[in-house]
Amino acid sequence: MSIENRELVAIITREVMEQLSKTGLLTGGVSAPATSKASLAPADLARYIDHTLLKADAKPAEIDKLCDEAKQYSFFSVCVNSAHVARCAKNLAGSGVKVCSVAGFPLGAMSTRAKAFETTCAIEDGAREIDMVMNVGAMKAGDFRLVEDDMRAVRKACGYTVLLKVIIETCLLTGEEIVRACEIAKRAELDFVKTSTGFSTAGATPEHVALMRKTVGPVMGVKAAGGVRNFDDALNMINAGATRLGTSGGVKIIKGEKIKGY
C-alpha cells in the first residue's frame, strides 16, 4: 500500500471512529449524560464497568475469577496488566467482554518506545483497549510536546481499531494542568481521558470528572477510576460526565455493597 493510500485509510478510519464515538459504541455503549441526573439501578452499572485487577501479586486463579465475574455480570471489560492479557483473551473468547490492558503503568515515567512496545505486545495477545499512563513529570514541567508525542506514539501503536485511554493522574495535577492534559489528549486523537491509576495519592472525584468532561466535550469518553467504592460513588461519577468506571469492586457495587481499595 502506498503512503498516500495509507494516509487516506487513516483519515477514513478516524472519521468512522469519531462517528461511532458519537453513538456511544466506543464509550461502553453509553453516551455522555445529558444535563438531567442519571437514574440507574445498581445492576444497570455493569455496562459502565472495566472490571479491574492490577495488583502486582495477582495470581492466575484470581485472573480467571475476574474473567468469570465479568462474563456473569456482563461488565464491559476486564482491565489487567499485560502479562495476563493472553489468559484473559482465551477465557473471554466469544463472551462479548473486552480485554483492556495498561501501558506505562502505574507511573507513566517509562520511555515512549517502551510504552508503544508494551502496547503492541498487549494487542498481539488480545487486548482491544489500552489504558496508557501520561508522562506526569513532563506535564508538571510544562514539556507539552513530550506529553503529546508520548500519546501519539501509543495512538500509532493502537491504530484506530483499538480504543485508547490516557490516565492523567488528576490527584497530582492542578485544575489548569488537568485541562491542558485533556486538550492534548483530544488533539492527539485519543478516545478517552481517565482520572487515575488507583496507585497514587488519591482517585477520581466528581469535580475532576466534570472538569474533564467540560474540556473534552461530548464525543470523547471519560473514565473515572480509583475511589469508586459504592453505588453512590458510581452514580456521582456518571452524573459528573463519566462514561466508564474502573474498579476492582464491580460485583459488590452492582449488588449495592461497599468496597475497599481501587
Summary count for the chain: helices (H), strands (E): 10, 8
And the C-alpha cell for 186?
Answer: 483530544
Q: Classify residue 121: in a domain, yes or no.
A: yes
- Nearest CA-CA partner of 131 in 204, 82, 68: 82
- The catalytic residues are 131, 194, 223
Residue 125 in any domain: the answer is yes
Residues 154-176: tens digit of each pLDDT: 999 999 999 999 999 999 999 99
- How far is residue 207's CA from residue 222's CA, in Å, rounded to a whole number? 13
Long-range contact set of residues 23-31: C-beta below 8 Å, sequence gap at least 24: 24/243, 26/163, 26/191, 26/221, 27/191, 27/192, 27/221, 27/243, 27/244, 28/76, 28/221, 28/243, 28/244, 29/76, 30/243, 31/218, 31/243
Residue of 173, 174, 154 whose CA lies nearest to 164: 154
Asked if residue 30 is part of any domain, the answer here is no
State the pTM of this model.
Answer: 0.87
Whole-number Å distance between alpha carbons of 81 and 102? 6
The pLDDT, as a whole number, for residue 131 is: 98
Looking at residue 166, its amino acid is V
Q: Is residue 142 part of a domain?
A: yes
Q: Is residue 225 part of a domain?
A: yes
CB 190 within 8 A of CB 166: yes
How many Å apart are CA 217 and CA 215, to the nearest integer? 6
> How many distinct structural domains can be found in the chain?
1
| Spans of the chain below 50 pLDDT | 1-11, 13, 16-17, 20, 22-23, 25, 34-36
pLDDT at res. 40:
83
Supply φ then ψ for residue 50, to 5 degrees. -95, 105
33-87 pLDDT, tens digit each: 544 456 788 778 999 999 999 999 999 999 999 999 999 999 999 999 999 999 9
Asked if residue 1 is part of any domain, the answer here is no
Residue 132 in grid coordinates: 496508557
Residues 77 and 100 sit within 8 Å (Cβ to Cβ): yes
Type of residue found at 247: T
Task: Supply the pLDDT for residue 218.
Answer: 96
pLDDT at 73: 96
What pLDDT, on the 0 to 100 scale, is given for residue 44?
86
137 found inside a domain: yes
Adjacent-strand bridge partners of 131: 102, 165
In contact, 249 and 218? CB cutoff 8 Å: no
Whether 35 is in a domain gets the answer: no
Say which amino acid occupies 229: R
Q: Which residues constitute the domain of residue 127?
A: 44-254
Q: Domain holding 135: CATH number?
A: 3.20.20.70
DSSP state of 84: G
Give pLDDT, residue 227. Answer: 85
